[in-house]
Structure 1
Amino acid sequence: MGVRNSPDGGAEDLEDLVDLADVERAAVARLPRDVRDFIAGGSGDEVTLAANRAALDGVGVVPRVLAGVEVADTGTSLVGTEAALPVAVAPMAYQCLAHPGGEVATAAAAGAAGVPFTVGTLSSRAVEEIAKTGATLWFQLYWLRDRGLVEELVARAEAAGCRALVITVDVPVMGRRRRDVRNGFSLPADVRAAHLSGGVTRAHERREVGSGVAEHTSTAFDPALGWRDVEWLRTRTRLPLVVKGVLDPRDATRCVELGASAVVVSNHGGRQLDGVVPSAVALPRVVEAVAGAGEVLFDSGVRGGVDVLRALALGATGVLLGRPVLWGLAVGGERGVARVLELLRAEFTQALLLAGCADVGAARGLATALTGPGAP
């Protein structure tokens, strides 16, 4: 296995890519099968993976007319940080698999676009190196068995200037991702988890065929993460705390009661428990339960500017964008990610105008209706 892209991306003319689906098709054509499947795949039968997209497609936005809107303002604030779009780049592991520039290239593009970039615990570049791009950074934390390492990562994130701490709570163990198992997926020698020691098990070191990433995380992650740990973390950092992976309104309420500034309604892009509720279906109930006590962000299935509008109309403060960013990285490195964010901005701006919305706040006041099978 290896990364086929050259450091400058070696990409076709990015201007020929007119939507995020074009970017995905171009990336799929470039990447080795195992890397492609690692990015695209979900867990189990991939029911939730497909349901995320179907649920978003089933949300009809009811536009306002005669609004007199000539120019739409896409700017907003996300977890206390200014953003040019109601979008942050989601935490995604091992980005050097997609392109040698990895997280540094992605963060540079996000910074230029004016959107926050979330550094992952399983980043293939260290937070200190990524911070040199000048991008607005959040830091994503998986709960590790080594509590000392958790404290160390929090301290490093603060020292590097990260503006929020995002704890992912839906991975007590990694979901069984059959594509990775079938491919015997493991990392090449030049890609590693920069924030962890020991690295990921190589294919030739394993006694059984399976996913080396899953084996490593089962050793490093602590499945016993509980509410007391969230309380402990809240006392250990001055950064705003974001809890990612919430679907039940009761859990969302508890998060804000414990001091979280925001929750992310997410099913991990269909990569954890298969068969769970699509994020778009869970979102309105979480928004209602939180009732303004904290921000509610959304991810899982966002593939364009209209999806951002849909999420806002359902009550979200903003969205986290995942796989499309990696496809852009694979196609053209920093330039490829920049193209993805440029397309998203253009689509979202047009969606605001067509919906009669002068700004992000107006979009959150739009009505929605179900348009899928069984809708009235």
Structure 2
Amino acid sequence: MVSIAFGRARQNDIYTSGIHGRKPTVPADFAELERRARAVMSRRGWAYIAGGAGEGRTMDANRDALDRWAIVPRMLRDTSQRNLETELFGQKLDAPVLFSPVGAGALAHPNADVHIGEAAAQLGVPYIFSNQGCAPMEDVAAAMDAVKPGAPRWFQLYWSTDDRLVTSLINRAEKMGAAALVVTLDTTMLGWRPQDLNLGSLPFARAEGISQYTSDPSFWEIVGERLKAATAEKPEVSLGAIKTLFSIARNVPGDLRENLTKPEPRAAVQTFLDIYSRPSLNWDDIATLRDRTSLPIVLKGILHPDDALLALEAGIDGIIVSNHGGRQIDGSISSTDALVDIVDAVGGRAGSRASGRKSDRGMKILVDSGFYTGSDVFKGLALGADAVCIGRPHMYGLALDGTDGARDAVANIIGELDLTLGLSGHRDVNDLNRSALKRLG
């Protein structure tokens, strides 16, 4: 048992600063965090990061599903010593929390991915590097190692239509020290996102969020081939097009002035848009991963119990129950409801009670989408998740205060998790199960 008082220490830091008249830059509640982040972000940045698919019904469903579960505290239990540590794929983590991948993070803060990586390293929890990041994975890994050598990091893979690029990204992920490969399944095409559409804003069209590609030699090889095969077209000239060209020139490697005149930067953007994801992706493709990497394989975007069982049969190491933060399908099942169904299905297949030992399953189950607070994380763990991934909160903290903001937003969540654990009569996050909760309605 690890003696930990993270929540109390977090409170004491804030209250001690308050004695000197200093209030926290990052609010301790999600509603205020979201409000302040919106105030400092651009319209495009807010639309992309905060927006959801369609009418936002899936985002609402994510919150409603969590609210249908109530924590039932137990009294007169010694909770003076508590343990938040957990283990995923052989790595011991300081808390069962991960920083989710969020693409085009520079819309919230310059050099976003480096700042997020530093924040995760300071907290001793993994950052899942975004495949659609704004900094090469090697730069983020180096920044994390400067904070804490060997700081845990995973890599998210969007499966391109060009297998050369898939192989290159996997090889780079291995070399930069990724502890797991997370294959995103639910974004083989972009969902209908009105907030972005109403602004006519797609970050990737401005070369925002394509740094993993423009830092990859295989990608530039593909760009070169496409340029050779291309027929000359006269582009439409407009003020908007000129602004977009400057954005592209700034966001791809090389000299700004040269990038304004060379065809490669614009071709790189079009190439990305054409090949970044594979709508034909299927289980046969996933089966080839064992020949491509020795890393643990995690499938992100699983919502149906049958797909979870197929992953288990395929020997997949882990899944992330996720509806992409409500950004892909309007009216989708919530991640929390899907988690319950999946834990029941996988737990039963493993021959153990759904509310019993998670180690019996043979496959790690993580969850994201709509988890904004420490009590949310508590519920996710009690419902059977091995860990919970945090998305929008760390992006909002990032927008407010860079590395410190991203760190503090997640530190607040971990602090509340610690206090909720103890106040509800529990000592170890790894022992949580559904007996800690009651379903309402």
Tell whether the structures are fold-level matches, with TM greater than 0.5.
yes
Post-superposition shift, 1:73? 1.3
SS state of the match for residue 195, structure 1?
A: helix
**Matched AA of 1:204:** A
Task: Tell whether 2:230 aligns with 1:161.
Answer: no
Aligned equivalent of 2:431, options 329, 340, 362:
362
Contact 1:263 1:297 in 2 (8 A): yes
Aligned equivalent of 1:267, options 323, 342, 362:
323
1:127 counterpart residue number: 137
1:193 counterpart residue number: 210
**Matched AA of 1:349:** D
1:308 counterpart residue number: 377
Contact 1:184 1:203 in 2 (8 A): no
1:97 counterpart residue number: 107
**Matched AA of 1:89:** F
CA 1:86–1:151 in 2, change beyond 3 Å: closer, same or farther?
same
Post-superposition shift, 1:23? 2.1
CA 1:215–1:159 in 2, change beyond 3 Å: closer, same or farther?
closer
Q: State, as a whole percentage, how many aligned pairs show the same letter.
A: 37
1:249 counterpart residue number: 305
Contact 2:105 2:209 in 1 (8 A): no
Post-superposition shift, 1:35? 0.8
Superposed CA deviations along residues 48-86 of structure 1, whole A, max 9, x for unmatched, are 111111111121122232222112211111233211111
CA 1:214–1:58 in 2, change beyond 3 Å: closer, same or farther?
farther
1:146 counterpart residue number: 162
2:363 counterpart residue number: 294
Moved more, 217-226 or 341-350: 217-226
Post-superposition shift, 1:177? 0.4
**Matched AA of 2:295:** L
Contact 1:174 1:214 in 2 (8 A): no
Q: Distance in 2 between matches of 1:203 and 1:259?
A: 49
Contact 1:174 1:217 in 2 (8 A): no
Contact 2:210 2:272 in 1 (8 A): no
Superposed CA deviations along residues 266-288 of structure 1, whole A, max 9, x for unmatched, are 11110112111101011111112
Q: Distance in 1 between matches of 2:333 and 2:202?
A: 30
Alignment of 1:63-82 (within 5 A): 63-82=73-92
CA 1:203–1:308 in 2, change beyond 3 Å: closer, same or farther?
farther
Superposed CA deviations along residues 312-334 of structure 1, whole A, max 9, x for unmatched, are 11111110100101000000000
**Matched AA of 2:312:** V
Task: Tell whether 2:375 aligns with 1:319.
Answer: no
CA 1:214–1:273 in 2, change beyond 3 Å: closer, same or farther?
farther
Aligned equivalent of 2:187, options 166, 171, 189:
171
Q: Distance in 1 between matches of 2:393 and 2:270?
A: 23
Q: Distance in 1 between matches of 2:242 and 2:290?
A: 38
SS state of the match for residue 320, structure 1?
A: strand
Q: Which runs of 5+ in 2 are unaligned?
A: 1-21, 146-150, 221-238, 244-268, 348-360
SS state of the match for residue 365, structure 2?
A: strand
Q: CA RMSD in A?
A: 2.5
1:116 counterpart residue number: 126
Moved more, 312-321 or 359-368: 359-368
SS state of the match for residue 37, structure 2?
A: helix
SS state of the match for residue 176, structure 1?
A: coil
Contact 2:85 2:95 in 1 (8 A): yes
Aligned equivalent of 1:36, options 46, 50, 56:
46
Q: Distance in 2 between matches of 1:296 and 1:56?
A: 17
| Bigger fraction of residues in helix | 2
TM (norm. structure 1) is: 0.89
1:17 counterpart residue number: 27
Moved more, 289-298 or 174-183: 289-298
Moved more, 330-339 or 290-299: 290-299
Moved more, 218-227 or 99-108: 218-227
Q: Distance in 2 between matches of 1:62 and 1:144?
A: 46
Q: Distance in 2 between matches of 1:178 and 1:42?
A: 8
SS state of the match for residue 342, structure 1?
A: helix
Number of aligned residue pairs: 355
1:3 counterpart residue number: none
Moved more, 300-309 or 43-52: 43-52
Post-superposition shift, 1:37? 1.2
Q: Which runs of 5+ in 1 are unaligned?
A: 1-11, 207-212
Task: Tell whether 2:275 aligns with 1:229.
Answer: no
Post-superposition shift, 1:367? 3.7
SS state of the match for residue 288, structure 2?
A: helix
Post-superposition shift, 1:22? 2.5
Q: Distance in 2 between matches of 1:296 and 1:156?
A: 25
Superposed CA deviations along residues 232-252 of structure 1, whole A, max 9, x for unmatched, are 012211100000000111101
CA 1:44–1:316 in 2, change beyond 3 Å: closer, same or farther?
same
Post-superposition shift, 1:114? 0.7
Q: Distance in 2 between matches of 1:219 and 1:273?
A: 22
1:6 counterpart residue number: none
Contact 1:62 1:355 in 2 (8 A): yes
Contact 2:26 2:400 in 1 (8 A): no
